Amino acid sequence: SHTHTPAPFSRSAIGTFFQERPLLTNPFTQDALLRAYLQRHLPDQQVQRDLLLFGERLVSEIEALGRQCELSPPVLQRYDAWGRRVDRILTCDAWTRLKHISAQEGLVAAGYERTYGDWSRVYQMSKIYLFAPSAGLYTCPLAMTDGAAKVIESLGVPVREAFERLTTRDEKRFWTSGQWMTERRGGSDVSSGTETVARRQQDGWFKLYGFKWFTSATDADMTLTLARITDRHGRSTAGSSGLSLFLAEAWDSDGLCNGIEVQRLKDKLGTRQVPTAELLLDGMSAQLLSEEGRGVASIANMLTITRIHNTVCAVGAMRRITHLCREYARKRAAFRKLLKDHALHVQTLSRLEVETRAAFLFAMEVCRLLGREENRSASDRDTLLLRLLTPIAKLYTAVSVVSEGLESFGGQGYIEDTGLPSMLRDAQVLSIWEGTTNVLSLDVLRSIAKSSGSVLQAFFTDLLVCVCVCLQERLLARFAQTAAARPAGTLELSARDLAYSLARIYMGALLVDHATWENATHTDIYAALRWCDQDLCPVVSRDAAGCYDPQTAAMDTALVYDG
Ligand code: UCC
Ligand code: FAD
């Protein structure tokens, strides 16, 4: 008998080679920069241990729950079996489980317990950062929950039960909150866009009538929302000064809605795990939280918190994709060697790594400032910087690293059941909700104008920026000083580039600062140098190129509408 060598395709029609998948391992132990950052600033055994265990839990439990949420998106049950209108938003068990885990892990609570003083927010946000890429967007309700708690705390209003529930670790009592601001006329321009009215009731409560066009995590237990209080003739004040802030419990314990009709669930590019509904408010009972007419200013604290969460989650996504990329490069071969041995491929990944490191340090710096403010140890400069850097960090941490990261998996990056495409879809929203890039750039200008330039002064006298004494920074200072004297409209035209310039310089300063730490490694120094290679100050180079000259706006219009 002759020996039988199996033909390569005889047993199975699909061949013998199967690519090894990139494996997710404990994201805390994998993360050299996070560990170094904490070792430098918060060298606490308990924090180390908690994050280590949380990292294990992410791999063994949470990752699968997040994936389940992607595969079992929420549905709207409009009628019950007997034809009654019920408008129930049904979410999967994994979504409920993530709610419980969020409470147990103190993902909101840690920000309010303030166990680590000035560093409490850094601790909390380190967990959010690790949680985000595995959490099936449960970070969305958590961000709004944190924002609502912050508003209640800062207004000092007597809604103790809500505050206690939003910040508890008890999964049975834990509430999440929504944030219903956007209406059909506008999400950026809330002042002109809000048509919802609030009618005062005998008992001092209000009934709200209106249409909310985007409401995410609509299954939340309560919400904050804006409306215009009407007088007894049904009239209300237009604009920002007519808006007041309300708190409403959305669903009662039987899941019945409080004067709310769910028009439909949105069919979205990503964030499919999260229900986002259009809601008709037809007499929703609500409690006034703010002073009358101070709605926008009062919800601003929520915007600060959700924008910081947004930043942290964006960096979490960047970190996850870069980890998976480097892991895959160890396993995938092309042209007779592993991807990790192709210098050009590794150069590509190292650029993503530099972006991710800079973004991480930026996000943590904002969290540090927030923690100081909440612990009452912030200097005036810290407070000004927090106001300036929050929108800048949110607008700068964008989708591009995730998008490029996907490419490094080749075709597999485009294949649904690898779980990779949802990372891109979910990252794409981060620059849209909670303020688009342009709107946040204008918010940066608002913060400069409102402080009569003190926020910029704080920026330029910040110790960290002084570390990064470079020509570009001086040019930027000169640009900023002379900006006010420029022709009307010029400043707005440079808002986006100004925000990017402030971001890049600050991120450079943070990388340099980290690289000068006594335990810094060669890679820390290299990352700082690489960051500073780029044009850190596009607002100055574009200004020199005439991009903000008075005739530019007309030329831009002609170009866009050419033909
Ligand atoms: O998108 C949403 C939820 C998505 C799901 C949750 C995701 C969470 C992240 C999860 C990660 C995975 S909720 C919708 C978000 N919508 C926005 O972000 C709106 C974008 N538009 C703006 O930000 C605009 O700039 C407005 C609406 C704030 C501008 O309104 P006004 O009425 O034109 O503003 P004014 O008149 O300039 O400002 C009114 C007051 C002023 O204070 P006073 O009256 O004392 O002078 C402002 O200084 O509000 C103050 N103010 C602020 N204060 C305005 N913005 C701020 C701010 N950012 N910080 C402090
Ligand atoms: P527009 O304001 O119409 O903006 C369109 C474009 O114009 C943008 O590129 C913008 O940058 C630009 N633009 C606008 N104004 C200016 C200006 N002055 N100068 C220069 N450029 C400008 N909202 C909620 O309230 N609660 C939610 O829970 C919620 N969930 C959401 C979930 C998802 C998945 C999405 C996609 C959105 C959600 N939103 C929610 C709405 C979101 O906050 C808004 O879509 C966003 O703020 C932008 O508003 P808009 O859609 O009206 O865009």
User: How far, in Å, is the centroid of ligand 2 from the Cα of 310?
Assistant: 15
Cβ-count burial 265-282 (b if 16+ within 10 Å, e if not) = bbebebbbbbbbbbbebe
User: How far, in Å, is the centroid of ligand 2 from the Cα of 187?
Assistant: 4
ipTM, two decimals: 0.99
Distances (CA, A) of 277 to 93, 185, 228: 20, 16, 21
Ligand 1 atom 51: residue of nearest CA: 297
pLDDT at 12: 58
Out of 223, 296, 388, 448, give the residue to mutate to test ligand 1, the one with the largest number of ligand atoms within 8 Å of its CB. Answer: 296
Ligand nearest to the CA of 449: 1
Return all residues near 541 (Cβ < 8 A) that are at least 6 apart. Answer: 535
Ligand 1 atom 40: residue of nearest CA: 297
Q: Dump strand ranges (E) for 217-360.
A: 222-229, 243-249, 260-265, 276-288, 333-334, 337-338
What is the distance between the alpha carbons of residues 470 and 488, in angstroms, rounded to a whole number? 29
The answer to whether residue 392 is domain-embedded is no
- Please give the model's pTM, rounded to 2 decimal places: 0.96
Ligand nearest to the CA of 317: 1
CA within 13 Å, CB half, 47: 25
Out of 138, 276, 303, 385, give the residue to mutate to test ligand 1, the one with the largest number of ligand atoms within 8 Å of its CB. Answer: 303
Residue 268 CB–ligand 2 contact under 6 Å: yes
Out of 180, 182, 307, give the residue to mutate to test ligand 2, the one with the largest number of ligand atoms within 8 Å of its CB. Answer: 182
The answer to whether residue 274 is domain-embedded is yes
**Binned average pLDDT, 10 residues per bin, the chain of 563 residues:** 62 79 96 98 97 98 97 95 92 98 98 97 98 97 98 88 97 98 96 96 96 96 97 94 96 78 96 97 96 96 98 98 98 97 97 98 98 96 96 94 97 96 97 97 92 86 67 75 72 92 93 94 96 90 87 90 92
User: How far, in Å, is the centroid of ligand 2 from the Cα of 190?
Assistant: 9
Pocket of ligand 1 (CB under 6 A): 139-140, 143-144, 179, 181-182, 187-188, 190-191, 216, 240, 296-297, 300, 303-304, 306, 309-310, 313, 433-435, 439, 443, 446, 450
Q: How many residues does the chain have?
A: 563
Ligand nearest to the CA of 185: 2
Last residue within a domain, chosen from 293, 309, 336: 293
339-343, Cβ contacts within 8 angstroms, sequence gap of 24 or more: 339/408
The answer to whether residue 514 is domain-embedded is yes
The answer to whether residue 192 is domain-embedded is yes
User: How far, in Å, is the centroid of ligand 1 from the Cα of 214?
Assistant: 16
Both structure tokens of 286? 């609500």
User: How far, in Å, is the centroid of ligand 1 from the Cα of 431?
Assistant: 15
Ligand nearest to the CA of 275: 2
273: CATH: 2.40.110.20
The answer to whether residue 261 is domain-embedded is yes
Ligand nearest to the CA of 132: 1
pLDDT at 11: 60
- What domain count does the chain have? 2
User: How far, in Å, is the centroid of ligand 1 from the Cα of 520?
Assistant: 38
Last residue within a domain, chosen from 239, 265, 293: 293
User: How far, in Å, is the centroid of ligand 1 from the Cα of 62?
Assistant: 32
DSSP per position, 346-375: HHHHHHHHHHHHHHHHHHHHHHHHHHHHHT
pLDDT at 479: 80
User: How far, in Å, is the centroid of ligand 1 from the Cα of 287?
Assistant: 21
Out of 138, 150, 188, 190, give the residue to mutate to test ligand 1, the one with the largest number of ligand atoms within 8 Å of its CB. Answer: 190
Atom number, ligand 2, closest to the C-alpha of residue 266: 34
pLDDT at 165: 97
User: How far, in Å, is the centroid of ligand 2 from the Cα of 433?
Assistant: 6
Residue 214 CB–ligand 2 contact under 6 Å: yes
Residue 222 β-bridge partners: 177, 249
Last residue within a domain, chosen from 264, 293, 322: 293
Cβ-count burial 70-87 (b if 16+ within 10 Å, e if not) = bebbbebeeeeeeeeebb
User: How far, in Å, is the centroid of ligand 2 from the Cα of 189?
Assistant: 8
pLDDT at 101: 98
Out of 139, 142, 188, 272, give the residue to mutate to test ligand 2, the one with the largest number of ligand atoms within 8 Å of its CB. Answer: 188
The answer to whether residue 507 is domain-embedded is yes
Distances (CA, A) of 510 to 355, 368, 397, 514: 12, 13, 15, 6
The answer to whether residue 2 is domain-embedded is no
Amino acid at 31: D
What is the distance between the alpha carbons of residues 405 and 321, in angstroms, rounded to a whole number? 6
Tell me how crowded residue 407 is: count the other CB atoms within 10 A of its CB: 11
User: How far, in Å, is the centroid of ligand 2 from the Cα of 432?
Assistant: 6
Ligand 2 atom 21: residue of nearest CA: 438
- Please give the residue range of the domain that contains residue 213: 177-293
Task: Give the angle subtended at the CA of 42 by the CAs of 41 and 46, to the nearest 5°.
Answer: 165
Distances (CA, A) of 143 to 55, 130, 507: 20, 14, 24
Residue 176 CB–ligand 2 contact under 6 Å: no
The answer to whether residue 554 is domain-embedded is yes
